[in-house]
Amino acid sequence: MDPRTLLDRRLALVTGKGGVGKSTVSAALALVAARAGKRVLVCEVNASQERVAPLLGAPPAGTVIREARPGISTVNVTPPEAMREYGLMVLKFRTIYEAVFENRLVRYFLRAVPALAELVVLGKILNEVRLEDRGRPRWDLVVVDAPATGHAVQLLRVPSALLDTVPPGPLRRDAEWMQAMLVDPARTALAIVTLPEEMPVNEAIELDQQVRGLLGIHREALFVNAMPESRFSPAEEVRLEALARAADPLGAAARAARLQALRAGQARRYLARARAALDLPTAVLPLLPLATWGPEAVERIAASIARGGEEGRE
Summarize pLDDT for 271-295 with one digit per residue, the tens: 999 999 998 999 999 999 998 899 9
Instruction: Indicate the CATH number of 3-306 among 3.40.50.10070, 3.90.1660.10, 3.40.50.300, 3.40.50.150.
Output: 3.40.50.300
Using the predicted structure, report yes or no on whether residue 109 has a pLDDT greater than 50.
no
Q: For residue 93, what pLDDT is reported? A: 44
**Where along the chain do its domains lie?**
3-306
Q: How many residues are listed for the chain in this entry?
A: 314
Residue with more model confidence, 4 or 12: 12
CB 190 within 8 A of CB 16: no
**Cα–Cα distances in angstroms (integers) from residue 274 to residues 41, 95, 203, 207, 271, in the given order:** 29, 53, 10, 12, 5
Residue with more model confidence, 234 or 220: 220
pLDDT digits (tens, 9 = 90+) for 27-47: 999 999 999 999 999 999 999
Q: Is 235 exposed, middle or buried (0-12, 13-18, 19+ CB in 10 A)?
A: exposed
Instruction: Give residue 173's pLDDT band: very low, low, confident or very high (50, 70, 90).
Output: confident
| Cis amide linkage into residue 249, ω under 30° from 0 | yes
What's the whole-model pTM score? Answer: 0.88
Using the predicted structure, report yes or no on whether residue 307 has a pLDDT greater than 60.
yes
| Percent of the chain topping pLDDT 70 | 89
